[in-house]
Amino acid sequence: MRIGVFPGTFDPVTEGHLDIIRRSQKVLDRVVVAVAAAYHKKTLFDLEERKAMLQSSLSETEGVEVVSFDGLLIDFAKQHKASAIIRGLRFISDFEYEFQLALMNRRMNRDIETLFFMPSARFSYLNSSVIKEVVRLGGDVNGLVPDAVIQAMKDRFKS
């Protein structure tokens, strides 16, 4: 069974993330979405909220498991018997950082490959920070994040 791990903070999950998950299913038998604890970032949503939003967004998607993790991604991937780490590349600026991570992960475990996916063109400019800022300022992000995520962000920004 070919298992891939798709890591991220998913704060919040976007349609770009979901696009990569669904497209990675075409080359993998199972995808483990690894929601990072992200102690190095100030997140809008806590770990359990981010995990719940992903589970809700993927509830009708078979072959996908959403779990949280802390620590080295390569160790997490090995624990889940993954043969691949899934990463998205939007722009050339993403490449240098992702390339460094892929090489370090390969150094730590040569049995786990990194698979890079370019987003669908309609999501290529998306990132969670932009989504949060647009919603915070009252803008429309319909079609860019799941509806439940839009409502959760609106509720959070009211507080």
Structure tokens at 84: 């691949």
- Host domain of residue 141: 3-158
Q: Which of these, 105, 53, 129, lies nearest to 97 by C-alpha position?
A: 105
Q: Is the pLDDT of residue 38 over 90?
A: no
Burial 8-20 (b: 16+ CB within 10 A, else e): bbbbbbbbbbbbb
Whether residue 144 is predicted with pLDDT greater than 90 in this model: the reply is yes
Give the whole-angstrom CA distance, residue 35 versus residue 51: 6
- The domain total for the chain is 1
Instruction: Just list the catalytic residues.
Output: 17, 41, 90, 128
Q: Please report, for the domain that includes residue 120, its CATH number.
A: 3.40.50.620
Q: Are strands 3-8 and 84-88 parallel, antiparallel or unpaired?
A: parallel
Phi, psi of 148, deg, nearest 5 = -65, -30
pLDDT at residue 41 tops 90: no
Task: Note the pLDDT tens digit of each residue in 11-36.
Answer: 999 999 999 999 999 999 999 999 99
Instruction: Quickly tell me which residue has 């604890």 as its tokens.
Output: 37
